[in-house]
């Protein structure tokens, strides 16, 4: 959860799925492991549109430095080079989370 003295950053990876192959699944597993192994990784949530035409994965980070280290990881860079093989389009939105609130009934937001 973001507070004035504890920043939180989100990276929303939005995509239109294409055809996935073994190399996609290999790199995706590595990228997921690298993200979750970072001490500043705060969580991830994802969804697909009901028709499957779009997806969105939002990763949360406690430091911009860790986010940048993740973005520079060799497996992540390799996946970026090959994205056209697997996606029919994508967009990335990087943002600083200013606040989070709700009624508390949805449980914990991020780790």
pLDDT tens-digit series, residues 37-55: 999 999 999 999 999 999 9
What is the rounded CA–CA span in Å between residue 42 and residue 15? 22
Q: Beta partners for 99? A: none
pLDDT score, position 110: 66
Non-local (6+) Cβ contacts of 17 within 8 A are: 52, 53, 54, 55, 86, 87, 88
> 90 pLDDT exceeds 90?
yes
SS3 content of the chain, % helix, strand, coil (to 5): 30, 30, 35
User: What is the model's pTM?
Assistant: 0.85
List Cβ neighbours of 100 (8 Å cut-off, separation of 6 or more). Answer: 1, 2, 8, 109
């Amino acid at each position: 959860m973001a507070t004035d003295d504890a920043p939180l950053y989100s990276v929303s990876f939005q995509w239109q799925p294409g055809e996935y192959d073994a190399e996609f699944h290999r790199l995706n597993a590595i990228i997921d492991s690298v993200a979750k192994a970072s001490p500043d990784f705060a969580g991830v949530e994802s969804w697909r549109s009901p028709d499957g035409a779009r997806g969105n994965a939002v990763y949360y980070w406690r430091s911009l430095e860790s986010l940048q280290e993740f973005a520079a990881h060799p497996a992540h860079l390799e996946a970026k080079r090959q994205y056209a093989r697997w996606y029919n389009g994508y967009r990335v939105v990087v943002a600083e989370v200013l606040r989070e609130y709700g009624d508390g009934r949805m449980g914990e937001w991020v780790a």
